[in-house]
């Protein structure tokens, strides 16, 4: 079971790569439409792109905050050989919570729903860390 955590980790990493392409395409569209000058992206100063393009970029940036703790805890579970079925389920639930968060954030951006999906991810992440600590104490 120990290496099965690789699958949700890889899935999420590939998802982040897809988001990077999405950001690139949104920025490219804003440049091609004349909405923003390519010079803006040198230092991110001056007249910027549309709110939608900024939202997409912020969403991508968010993938390097909380999700990094997911990658760390999964790696520690693998290294410590503490991966149980419940660990794998929690890992996939975390990935699902982040996909739901993306759906809400990049969709209608309902703040209440976004908070719920974000909080769900945090709770699942905390459970993964508690599980790691519990296994380490045994």
Return the domain boundaries, the chain. 2-137
Q: Which fold has domain 2-137?
A: 1.20.120
User: At how many degrees (to 10) do helices 6-32 and 66-80 cross?
Assistant: 160
Tell me the pLDDT band of 136, cut-offs 50, 70 and 90: confident
Report the 10 Å Cβ neighbour count for 115: 12
pLDDT of the residue at 65: 93
d(CA 60, CA 46): 21
Q: For the residues 50-78, what does the mean pLDDT come to?
A: 95
pLDDT of the residue at 8: 98
116, pLDDT greater than 90: yes
For 9, half-sphere exposure in the C-beta direction (CA atoms, 13 angstrom radius) is 18
Report the 10 Å Cβ neighbour count for 40: 17
d(CA 77, CA 100): 24
Instruction: Tell me which residue of 86, 88, 91 sits closest to 70, measured CA to CA.
Output: 91
pLDDT of the residue at 1: 58
């Amino acid at each position: 079971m120990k290496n099965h955590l690789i699958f949700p980790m890889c899935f999420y990493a590939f998802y982040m790569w897809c988001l990077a392409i999405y950001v690139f395409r949104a920025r490219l569209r804003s440049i091609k439409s004349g909405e923003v000058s390519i010079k803006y992206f040198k230092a991110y100063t001056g007249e910027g792109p549309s709110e939608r393009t900024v939202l997409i970029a912020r969403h991508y940036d968010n993938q390097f905050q909380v999700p990094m703790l997911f990658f760390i805890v999964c790696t520690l579970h693998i290294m410590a050989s503490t991966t149980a079925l419940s660990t794998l389920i929690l890992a996939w639930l975390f990935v699902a919570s982040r996909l739901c968060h993306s759906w809400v954030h990049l969709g209608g951006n309902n703040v209440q729903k976004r908070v719920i999906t974000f909080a769900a991810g945090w709770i699942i992440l905390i459970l993964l860390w508690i599980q790691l600590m519990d296994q380490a104490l045994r």
